[in-house]
């Protein structure tokens, strides 16, 4: 089968590239209303290509927001069903003057295809479509059942798809979800991401006086909510970067010795990482390596203060109110609700006299960890290893991907994060690119993955 797919890819090499370029030429920027028509064009492109690949029941699901594109192929009864998720929307391209070639005129230079959305996520999700097309073309059938779910709001919070999945878990029933929207740990190194940190994102609001006061006339008597917030929040993290919230670490499940050993074997240089960050030094909890601190240790960050004076020059104001955006990243077995309660309690305990403080939750999500031994994960691992001719590495990400938690919680399926991006793809930045050989290798790996899945039974109905 692989050799037939290889031949198909060879024969259709330039057409596939041409199609991807056409897709990338559509500036489907989800956050800008003036690109609403381009959103429609991107949907139209996908509908056409899903039909051309042989998908059935192709439709544009009109959601409360940008449309979701759906298509399926259910001709493999008794075989597992794979939900292929991706997104067709892209980030705005600003600042335009930093692009070496225009963001919506895809340009191939030294095997890299430069365009906004090249890696995030058009180039990667298009792999799934072309894998289905290739298999149907060379074999007339697919080894597994497929459901495509492609949304247009990933870059703006994914509200429409979240609602759709919550309201329609039945039509999306499947055995495993496949997402290609992450990175390989290093070029040529097949990678599965099996863990994501959870998140509790809050806004902490402190109020003092009725109204903004003059710091000359009231300083020394009126409480300062900005100073108070700074004092409260800075006490939550020790100089050794330990979080000082009682009970915060109680449920933390450390990575297994095997997982830690596998991380130690990854091609990772702390010096190079420091150069990439560009700060005078790296920081974080003593006793943990950089990867472990980012992937498997919880953190607390301040993202912004609102209130008082932020313009140029000086204004002598004691603000009546100030707020701070504060988030905590969580790791396996930490419960967002429990952490939030402990956070709020500690914030209240630390609130100095003269201030009232309120904690608001803006978003929260559970940490995720997939067992590498799961047969579906193993199928993916094997497919990648065969394609890239190297053992697949298992990594985690310190970030959070809400759709992964949604699929786990609502559809009760494992999620395979099979990423073909590279660490230097510059997602969300000027000169985003996609390493073109990974596009073709991606098609090979995905067809192999489906082939291996077909050798496994679908999950028992009771597990759903």
Interface with a second copy (CB under 8 A), residue from 34, 279, 460, 462: 279
Residues 6 or more apart whose Cβ sits within 8 Å of residue 425: 118, 119, 120, 183, 432, 433, 434, 435
Strand, helix or coil at 349? helix
- 95 scored as a contact of a second copy (CB under 8 A): no
Report, in Å, the least distance between residue 42 CB and a second copy: 25
Interface with a second copy (CB under 8 A), residue from 80, 123, 223, 419: 223
**151 to 190, contacts with a second copy by CB under 8 A?**
none
Distance CA 50, CA 52 (A): 5
State the binding string over 337-366 for a second copy (x if CB under 8 A, else -): ---------------xxxxx-----xx---
Q: Which three-class secondary structure string do you get for 393-423?
A: EEEEECCCCHHHHHHHHHHCCCEEEECCECC
Nearer to a second copy, 77 or 220 (CB): 220
Stretch that binds a second copy, among 41-49, 95-103, 126-134, 209-217 (CB under 8 A): 209-217
Nearer to a second copy, 128 or 293 (CB): 293
Interface with a second copy (CB under 8 A), residue from 118, 213, 404, 405: 213
Nearer to a second copy, 112 or 400 (CB): 400
- 210 scored as a contact of a second copy (CB under 8 A): yes
Report, in Å, the least distance between residue 286 CB and a second copy: 12
**Looking up tokens 């790296």, which residue turns up?**
282
Nearer to a second copy, 74 or 302 (CB): 302
Interface with a second copy (CB under 8 A), residue from 32, 186, 264, 282: 282
Tokens representing 233? Answer: 């929040």
Tokens representing 36? Answer: 């609403």
**289 to 308, contacts with a second copy by CB under 8 A?**
290, 293-294, 297, 299-308
Strand, helix or coil at 435? strand
Distance CA 322, CA 330 (A): 26
Determine the straight-line distance between the first and last CA of the chain, rounded to whole angstroms. 31
- 217 scored as a contact of a second copy (CB under 8 A): yes
- 92 scored as a contact of a second copy (CB under 8 A): no
Stretch that binds a second copy, among 27-35, 133-141, 207-215, 385-393 (CB under 8 A): 207-215
Report, in Å, the least distance between residue 63 CB and a second copy: 20
Nearer to a second copy, 172 or 300 (CB): 300
Nearer to a second copy, 300 or 406 (CB): 300
Report, in Å, the least distance between residue 402 CB and a second copy: 11
Cα 331 to chain centroid, rounded: 16
Verify cis geometry, omega within 30 degrees of 0, for the bond prior to 442.
no
Distance CA 226, CA 320 (A): 9
- 251 scored as a contact of a second copy (CB under 8 A): no
Q: How far is CA 212 from CA 96, 208, 232, 321, 354, in A?
A: 40, 9, 21, 8, 15
Distance CA 149, CA 208 (A): 49
Selection from 446, 362, 376, 447 nearest residue 408 by Cα: 376
Q: Please, are residues 38 and 117 in contact by the beta-carbon 8 Å criterion?
A: no
**6 to 65, contacts with a second copy by CB under 8 A?**
none
Residues 6 or more apart whose Cβ sits within 8 Å of residue 148: 50, 55, 69, 70, 71, 72, 84, 86, 128, 129
Report, in Å, the least distance between residue 297 CB and a second copy: 6
- 219 scored as a contact of a second copy (CB under 8 A): yes
Interface with a second copy (CB under 8 A), residue from 316, 341, 349, 437: 316
Distance CA 217, CA 214 (A): 5
Stretch that binds a second copy, among 32-40, 62-70, 233-241, 376-384 (CB under 8 A): 233-241
Size of the site for a second copy (CB under 8 A): 78
Nearer to a second copy, 257 or 313 (CB): 313
- 462 scored as a contact of a second copy (CB under 8 A): no
Distance CA 94, CA 437 (A): 27
């Amino acid at each position: 089968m692989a050799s037939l797919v290889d031949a198909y890819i060879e024969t259709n090499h330039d057409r596939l590239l041409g199609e991807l370029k056409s897709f990338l030429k559509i500036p489907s920027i989800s956050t800008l209303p003036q690109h609403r028509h381009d959103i429609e064009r991107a949907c139209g492109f996908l509908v056409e290509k899903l039909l051309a690949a042989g998908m059935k029941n192709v439709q544009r699901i009109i959601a409360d927001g940008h449309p979701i594109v759906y298509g399926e192929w259910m001709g493999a009864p008794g075989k597992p069903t794979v939900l292929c998720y991706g997104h067709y929307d892209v980030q705005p391209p600003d600042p335009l003057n930093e692009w070496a070639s225009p963001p919506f005129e895809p340009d191939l230079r030294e095997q890299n295809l430069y365009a906004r959305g090249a890696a995030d996520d058009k180039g990667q999700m298009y792999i799934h479509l072309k894998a289905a097309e290739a298999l149907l073309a060379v074999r007339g059938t697919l080894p597994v059942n497929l459901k495509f779910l492609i949304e247009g709001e990933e870059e703006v919070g994914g509200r429409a798809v979240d609602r759709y999945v919550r309201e329609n878990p039945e039509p999306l029933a499947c055995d495993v979800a496949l997402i290609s929207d992450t990175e390989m740990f290093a070029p040529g190194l097949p990678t599965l991401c099996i863990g994501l940190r959870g998140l509790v994102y809050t806004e902490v609001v402190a109020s003092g006086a009725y109204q903004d006061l003059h710091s000359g006339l009231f300083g020394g008597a009126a409480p300062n909510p900005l100073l108070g917030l700074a004092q409260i929040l800075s006490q939550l993290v020790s100089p050794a970067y330990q979080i000082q919230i009682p009970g915060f670490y109680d449920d933390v499940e450390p990575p297994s010795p095997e997982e830690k050993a596998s991380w130690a074997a990854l091609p990772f240089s702390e010096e190079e990482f420091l150069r990439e960050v560009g700060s005078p030094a790296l920081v974080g909890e003593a006793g943990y390596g950089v990867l472990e601190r980012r992937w498997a240790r919880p953190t607390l960050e301040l993202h912004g203060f609102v209130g008082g004076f932020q313009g140029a020059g000086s204004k002598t104001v004691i603000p009546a109110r100030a707020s701070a955006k504060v988030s905590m990243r969580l790791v396996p077995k930490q419960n967002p609700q429990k952490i939030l309660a402990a956070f709020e309690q500690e914030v209240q305990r630390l609130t100095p006299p003269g201030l009232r403080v309120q904690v608001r939750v803006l978003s929260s999500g559970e940490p995720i960890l997939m067992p590498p031994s799961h047969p579906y994960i193993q199928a993916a691992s094997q497919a990648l290893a065969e394609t890239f001719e190297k053992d697949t590495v298992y990594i985690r990400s310190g970030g959070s991907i809400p759709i992964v938690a949604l699929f786990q919680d609502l559809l009760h399926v494992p999620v395979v994060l099979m990423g073909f991006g590279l660490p230097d793809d510059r997602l969300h930045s000027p000169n985003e690119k996609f390493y073109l050989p990974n596009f073709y290798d991606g098609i090979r790996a995905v067809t192999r993955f489906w082939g291996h899945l077909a050798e496994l039974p679908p999950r028992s109905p009771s597990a759903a």
